[in-house]
């Protein structure tokens, strides 16, 4: 009898695994299609599919005949809507003028999921339409409290410096898209914005260099993921000489788990391109002046790019290009790669 019970338990666990994977695959398909609708300027279709996906993933009821006392803790974990997806839906609602549902999902990630990225919230231009709503200040307060709770044991002095640096880095960069759309890429207003950004970058680099030169890369336990990402952003926006200088320190930070491999991949790709070499992870894209579509900058060994990306925690090339509703065809890319290399060299020579 005991052997039969064990066999049934194994069967039920296998069922749950398959059940979970099937739902997850369907969820990802819905999110991908929903995002495609958003890129194609079909917000109603996009939000509808996102909501269907969320309902699918968070419905954890099993059929009656499977209601036995079995361990489904992993199912609870796997079947939670990722914060990024819920946040993206909030942005879609906000940009579409639906404040009610934008706030609904933002409050879910603030209250239920304890989201704490306060500065990302207040500087995200996608949420500008919410700023004058009475619910905005309440939302900010909740997320700020989450941030303070999460960071209670951090190095508060160093964290305050990094918070200011992050604010200066993101505050003006998040205005690029809206300013360009309103005034044009070559407008005086856009030129003035870039001057401000470059000035802030210079000041931020001075502050970050002082930290790195005097104490090395801080431990993530002292400054958190956001603090470590702030240092990364400043170096990522710096010139080639600065990036070369701190390359050994960045490699050490990755080895000691103070910086993610995914962030290193973005940094290293940019540095390789600046050296006149080919990137290896495919993280760097550019916008075609004529078509206005993004394209992947020169990439080494494109056929094995996904293998390298997965090794550092990145999604596949196709999943990355989904945000622009573009297709990744390796063979086609290999054919046009010489043209892309020539185009990049031409742009560099003009600059």
How many percent of the chain have pLDDT more than 90? 70
Mean pLDDT over residues 1-27, rounded?
A: 56
For residues 240 and 227, what is the distance between their CA atoms, to the nearest angstrom?
22
State residue 21's pLDDT score.
Answer: 64
Q: Counting every residue, how long is the chain?
A: 351
pTM over cut 0.85: no
Residue 148 has pLDDT above 90, yes or no: yes
Q: How confident is the model at residue 12 (pLDDT cuts 50, 70, 90)?
A: very low
- Burial of residue 318, with CB atoms counted within 10 A of its CB: 0-12 exposed, 13-18 middle, 19 or more buried: middle
Q: In this structure, are residues 82 and 105 in contact, taking their beta carbons and an 8 Å threshold?
A: no
CB 216 within 8 A of CB 209: no
The string of pLDDT tens digits covering residues 90-127 is 999 999 999 999 999 999 999 999 999 999 999 999 99
165 and 208 in contact (C-beta within 8 Å)? Answer: yes
pLDDT (tens digit per residue) in 266-314: 999 999 999 999 999 999 999 887 777 889 999 999 999 999 999 999 9
Flag the least confident range among 8-17, 20-29, 173-182, 334-343: 8-17
The C-alpha atoms of residue 176 and residue 193 are separated, in whole angstroms, by: 8
| CB-based contact 266:272 (threshold 8 Å) | no
Look over the chain and give the mean of its residue pLDDT values, rounded to a whole number: 87
The pLDDT, as a whole number, for residue 10 is 46
DSSP sequence for 132-164: TSHHHHHHHHHHHHHHHHHTTTS-HHHHHHHHH
Which residue carries 């996906």 as its tokens?
Answer: 53
> Rounded CA gap, 102 and 87, in Å?
9
Span 172-221, pLDDT tens digits? 998 888 888 888 888 999 999 999 999 999 999 999 999 999 999 999 99
pLDDT level of residue 231 (50, 70, 90 thresholds): very high
CA 95 to chain centre: 19
Confirm if 53 and 31 have CB atoms less than 8 A apart.
yes
* Residues 36-88: tens digit of each pLDDT: 899 889 999 999 999 999 988 776 444 443 333 333 333 343 457 899 999 99
Q: Which helix (H) or strand (E) holds 204?
A: helix 188-215
Domain ranges of the chain: 153-259, 275-351
């Amino acid at each position: 009898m005991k052997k039969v019970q064990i066999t049934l338990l194994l069967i039920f666990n296998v069922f749950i695994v398959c059940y979970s994977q099937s739902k997850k695959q369907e969820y990802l398909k819905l999110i991908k299609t929903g995002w495609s609708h958003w890129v194609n300027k079909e917000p109603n279709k996009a939000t509808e599919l996102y909501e269907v996906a969320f309902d699918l993933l968070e419905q954890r009821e099993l059929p009656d005949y499977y209601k036995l006392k079995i361990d489904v803790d992993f199912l609870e974990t796997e079947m939670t809507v990722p914060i990024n997806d819920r946040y993206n839906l909030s942005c879609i609602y906000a940009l579409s003028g639906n404040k009610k549902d934008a706030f609904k999902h933002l409050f879910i990630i603030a209250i239920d999921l304890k989201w704490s990225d306060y500065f990302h919230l207040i500087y995200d231009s996608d949420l500008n339409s919410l700023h004058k709503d009475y619910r905005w200040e309440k939302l900010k307060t909740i997320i700020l409290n989450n941030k303070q709770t999460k960071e209670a044991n951090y190095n508060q002095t160093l964290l305050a410096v990094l918070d200011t640096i992050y604010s200066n880095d993101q505050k003006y960069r998040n205005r690029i898209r809206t300013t360009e759309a309103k005034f044009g890429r070559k407008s005086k207003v856009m030129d003035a914005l870039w001057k401000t950004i470059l000035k802030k970058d210079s000041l931020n680099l001075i502050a970050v260099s002082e930290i790195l030169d005097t104490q090395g890369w801080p431990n993530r336990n002292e400054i958190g993921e956001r603090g470590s990402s702030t240092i990364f952003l400043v170096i990522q926006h710096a010139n080639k000489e600065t990036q070369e200088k701190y390359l050994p320190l960045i490699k050490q930070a990755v080895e000691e788990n103070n910086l993610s491999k995914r962030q290193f991949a973005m940094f290293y790709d940019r540095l390789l391109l600046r050296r006149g070499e080919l990137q290896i992870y495919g993280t760097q894209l550019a916008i075609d002046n004529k078509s206005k579509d993004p394209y992947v900058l020169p990439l080494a060994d494109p056929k094995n790019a996904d293998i390298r990306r997965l090794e550092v925690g990145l999604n596949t090339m196709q999943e990355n290009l989904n945000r622009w509703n573009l297709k990744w065809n390796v063979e086609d890319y290999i054919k046009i790669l010489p043209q892309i290399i020539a185009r990049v060299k031409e742009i560099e020579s003009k600059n």
